[in-house]
Amino acid sequence: MFSLKYMFNMFAFLIRTALDCTDEPFFERYSALEPERWEEINKDVKKFFPTLFYNGHIVQMSDSLCSKELLEQLRAVVMGKKEEYDKQLLVLLLTILDSSMSKYIENYVTKEAIKGINSNADQTKVQLLPRVKCSWEHSNRGSCHYNGLINYLNFFYFIDMNKTNGYEIWNQFLSDDTFSTARKRKALKIGMCPLTNQGNLNWTKETRNGIGYFSITDIEDKEIIEENMLKLNVELKKHQVDIAIMPEMLGNHQIEENFKEIFSEFPDDGCENCPLIVFPSIWSNHHNIVTVFNEQGDIVIQQEKQHPFLYTISKDERYLEDIQPEKKISLIHCDGVGRIAILICKDALMIEYIQMVLNILKVTLLIIPSFSTGNYDFQEIVQCCRSADCCVCWINTCSVANLNGANNKKLEPIGFFLRCGKKSELPDGIFRCNRKEQSCCNGEERDCGRCVFTFDLPFG
Ligand SMILES: [Zn+2]
């Protein structure tokens, strides 16, 4: 594996070179290469890199193959002039390396989040990563909307750090058997929980440089929230939910600690816990952070809210959420799901941010925990996810009625699910979570404690 590290670095270096010398029109032309030209560049690649082929087929990279000479030769490809032909040859070479190194990234799993599998990301500004499959992504992978290098790689994926708007991107890879139940039933079950209608938030205000800010100091009725989460945990297991999602801001450190303990022990009922739970975010010390736990109660990722909410009481009384986030985005990669990102409430409404997440990070499942008086803006913005084959789960909480006096009509629906990609039948792709249909906050269970809206996605 010693020399493979250099191959990954060389691969990232070649990707950077290709990114710098090509543009969308180049890839438009490349997609229409004539067979004669195709033959010609193929022949040249085989002539320059005979060791990468055997009987005309691409060979798997190996320690013996990965020599200093090969690295020198690869470097030489990009040192010359950048005529159209050279660029075509470079792109073809990248697709060959992609396939040649594929077996080294099969079933790739990380213990801790990484930036890339290459160690020269800071120099090349390319984060090289394994590309996990997404069951609902179209096989042409958006090539009718976008022409670029990433369309020509099958096994690797990369992040162009020059295009992430200054955000650091961290990547966590889950093992293939994370969603084994979903694989058997060929459907990934998403469960969304409004959690409670009792979550009152206490807040303080502060003025700095003439700007009004608000901070969340505490949540009332923590006992009800914890009680509901325990009830919901039973429901999630009963429905065999694969990914559970809870709303923004109703989290609490003590509740998380208690759940970590519950999850770390063998379940009382013998049923396995939900493989991935997006806990309600915790507002604390100028940070609004969501934690995602796995079934054993280990942290998978944490994601901070990046854009402050403007709390408008009246025309003259407005306060900005007093968050000071670190500019980091954490992605979860898992075979079958593709790439998951969490955009907390307002983050999903910021057009530049969501477009970067879709177009540069190529996220395929977007999770939006909210604490919001309306759903209209969210339903509008997520339409841009459709061409990216990115499914969306948005969940709000019934507690908003308590705090902001938002009427119940505004909280209908309390969540929605946008189904994209293959076999998405609904005209606008949106399945709404209607509280009335589910008797959320109505029946005997007066505070959403057993209310889970579930949706299935094709899987495996
Ligand atoms: Zn409810």
Residue 399 alpha carbon to ligand 1 centre in Å: 8
Q: Return the minimum-mean-pLDDT range out of 192-196, 215-219, 340-344, 421-425.
A: 421-425
Residue 415 alpha carbon to ligand 1 centre in Å: 11
Q: Return the minimum-mean-pLDDT range out of 26-30, 238-242, 333-337, 445-449.
A: 445-449
Query: What is the per-residue pLDDT for 141?
Result: 65
Residue 259 alpha carbon to ligand 1 centre in Å: 22
Residue 195 alpha carbon to ligand 1 centre in Å: 7
Maximal CA-CA distance, the chain = 76
Q: What are phi and psi of 224, to 5 degrees?
A: -65, -40
Residue 2 alpha carbon to ligand 1 centre in Å: 55
Tens of pLDDT, residue by residue over 172-208, are: 999 999 999 999 999 999 999 999 888 889 999 999 9
Residue 193 alpha carbon to ligand 1 centre in Å: 9
The yes-or-no verdict on residue 441 having pLDDT over 80 is no
Residue 77 alpha carbon to ligand 1 centre in Å: 62
Confidence band for 446, pLDDT divided at 50, 70 and 90: low
Tens of pLDDT, residue by residue over 234-243, are: 999 999 999 9
Tens of pLDDT, residue by residue over 283-298, are: 999 999 999 999 999 9
Residue 311 alpha carbon to ligand 1 centre in Å: 22
Which of the two residues, 9 and 62, has the higher pLDDT score?
Answer: 9
Residue 344 alpha carbon to ligand 1 centre in Å: 20
Q: What are phi and psi of 328, to 5 degrees?
A: -130, 140
Which of the two residues, 2 and 246, has the higher pLDDT score?
Answer: 246
Tens of pLDDT, residue by residue over 325-348, are: 999 999 999 999 999 999 999 999
Confidence band for 145, pLDDT divided at 50, 70 and 90: confident
Tens of pLDDT, residue by residue over 56-86, are: 899 888 888 888 888 888 888 877 768 999 9
- β-pairing, 328-334 vs 168-173, is parallel
* Mean pLDDT, rounded, for 115-143: 91
* Mean pLDDT, rounded, for 374-402: 88
**Domain ranges across the chain:** 2-160, 176-458
Confidence band for 445, pLDDT divided at 50, 70 and 90: low
Confidence band for 403, pLDDT divided at 50, 70 and 90: low
The yes-or-no verdict on residue 115 having pLDDT over 80 is yes
Residue 232 alpha carbon to ligand 1 centre in Å: 12
Which of the two residues, 387 and 110, has the higher pLDDT score?
Answer: 110
Which residues contact residue 396 at a Cβ distance below 8 angstroms, ignoring those fewer than 6 apart?
194, 247, 370, 371, 372, 375, 411, 414, 415
8 A C-beta contact, residue 294 and residue 300: yes
| Percentage, residues of the chain above pLDDT 90 | 69
The yes-or-no verdict on residue 11 having pLDDT over 80 is yes
pTM (two decimals): 0.95
Q: Return the minimum-mean-pLDDT range out of 114-128, 265-279, 308-322, 411-425.
A: 411-425
The yes-or-no verdict on residue 52 having pLDDT over 80 is yes
The yes-or-no verdict on residue 443 having pLDDT over 60 is no
Query: What is the per-residue pLDDT for 1?
Result: 47
The yes-or-no verdict on residue 407 having pLDDT over 70 is no
The yes-or-no verdict on residue 2 having pLDDT over 80 is no
Residue 441 alpha carbon to ligand 1 centre in Å: 4
Residue 443 alpha carbon to ligand 1 centre in Å: 10
User: Mean of the per-residue pLDDT values for the chain?
Assistant: 91
Residue 414 alpha carbon to ligand 1 centre in Å: 8
CATH number of the 176-458 domain? 3.60.110.10
Whether the CA torsion 133, 138, 139, 142 is positive or negative: it is negative
Residue 363 alpha carbon to ligand 1 centre in Å: 30
Task: Take residue 236 and report the two structure tokens written for it.
Answer: 């999630």
Query: What is the per-residue pLDDT for 139?
Result: 77
Query: What is the per-residue pLDDT for 447?
Result: 73
* Mean pLDDT, rounded, for 32-50: 93
Residue given tokens 């906050």 in the structure block: 441
Q: For the sheet with 415-418, list strands across it.
A: 168-173, 328-334, 338-342, 365-369, 391-395, 415-418, 430-433
8 A C-beta contact, residue 338 and residue 137: yes
Query: What is the per-residue pLDDT for 426?
Result: 66
